[in-house]
Amino acid sequence: MRPSIPWHQALHDCKVRGEAFVLATVLSAGGSTPRDVDAKMVITASAQFDTLGGGTLEWEIIHVAREDITRGQTGYRIEKFALGSQLGQCCGGAVSVLLESFPATAFQIGLFGAGHVAHALVPILGGLPCQVHWVDARADLFPVERPSNVKALPAQDPISWVARLPVGVDVVIMTHNHELDFQLMVAALQRADVRSIGVIGSATKARRFKHRLNELGMGDDHWARVNCPIGLPNVPGKLPMEVAVSIAGELIAREHTERPKTAWRGLAKSALKELLHSTGETVHNEDNLDVHRMPTP
């Protein structure tokens, strides 16, 4: 545990990093309990921040939360605990805990190359709800200070990292070497689960790469998956920042148009209806102590 980081700071950090987490909140408490209502903690796959009072109750909540994270569970639910009979805690009260499960971001970017354009692009991506896997063999080119959602990956063999990228990733190729760019592109094309492949360059570079793909027996269906040169065609300019803005614009547009969205988000309609029409609920522990009731709207 890292008690020096309060739950609200941890929540913000997880959101910025695009990391999966669960926010646990004590909704109601009756009798003797470790913490009172509104106590909160944030739980990730490897850490927890703030506290609900420790002991078996907190351990059980962390266990349940991490099961949700492992399964990729999202949504909201209420767990009820009798501290004495159920958890063996001597305080003997009862609590209801709201668990809000937030998934890791599905917006994943594999960025190859740490040149001028990449250095202009990374701060922009740092302000987006995405995770960036930044790969280059030249470790000294990575800035010391980076956005928290950007992971620098020094690699002697950058091509090997293509296979390690998450499913649905957008691959952005902009290394200092055209041959490396081509090999990275071929490696990305060998994965059917890559969402997009963008290569920095020019129309001439695109023609040459397409011709070389044909020589490898990879025809128009493969080339159709490649965008070279990467970036929005209506955003001109050759300055690193201009190119970076163009590339970021393309990635943002794709994320908004191609990421499936459901018509209804958040609390399930049935659960919401139950809460809105509830007349309140009393939960009893083994000593028949009333938990604070949820007020009727």
Of 90-99, 241-250, 281-290, the poorest mean pLDDT is in: 281-290
Distances (CA, A) of 60 to 43, 44, 85, 228, 273: 12, 14, 14, 51, 28
Predicted confidence (pLDDT) at residue 18 exceeds the cutoff of 90? no
Domain parsing of the chain, residue ranges:
7-104+268-276, 108-258
DSSP alpha helix (H) spans, 131-239: 178-189, 203-215, 220-223
CA distance 245 to 239: 10
With left for phi above 0 and alpha for psi between -120 and 50, is residue 266 left, alpha or beta?
left
CA distance 184 to 177: 11
Q: What is the pTM of this model?
A: 0.74
Predicted confidence (pLDDT) at residue 290 exceeds the cutoff of 60? no
CA distance 203 to 209: 10
108-258: CATH superfamily: NAD(P)-binding Rossmann-like Domain (3.40.50.720)
Query: What is the pLDDT at residue 185?
Result: 98
CA distance 172 to 203: 17
**Residues contacting residue 288 through CB under 8 Å, at least 6 positions apart:** none
Contact between residue 209 and residue 199 where contact means Cβ atoms under 8 Å apart: yes
Instruction: Report residue 193's pLDDT band, with 50, 70 and 90 as the boundaries.
Output: very high
Of 55-59, 162-166, 233-237, 242-246, the poorest mean pLDDT is in: 55-59
Q: What is the pLDDT of residues 121-148, one digit of tens each?
A: 999 999 998 999 999 999 999 999 999 8
Edge-to-edge strand list for the sheet holding 131-136: 150-154, 131-136, 108-112, 170-173, 196-199, 226-227
Contact between residue 27 and residue 295 where contact means Cβ atoms under 8 Å apart: no
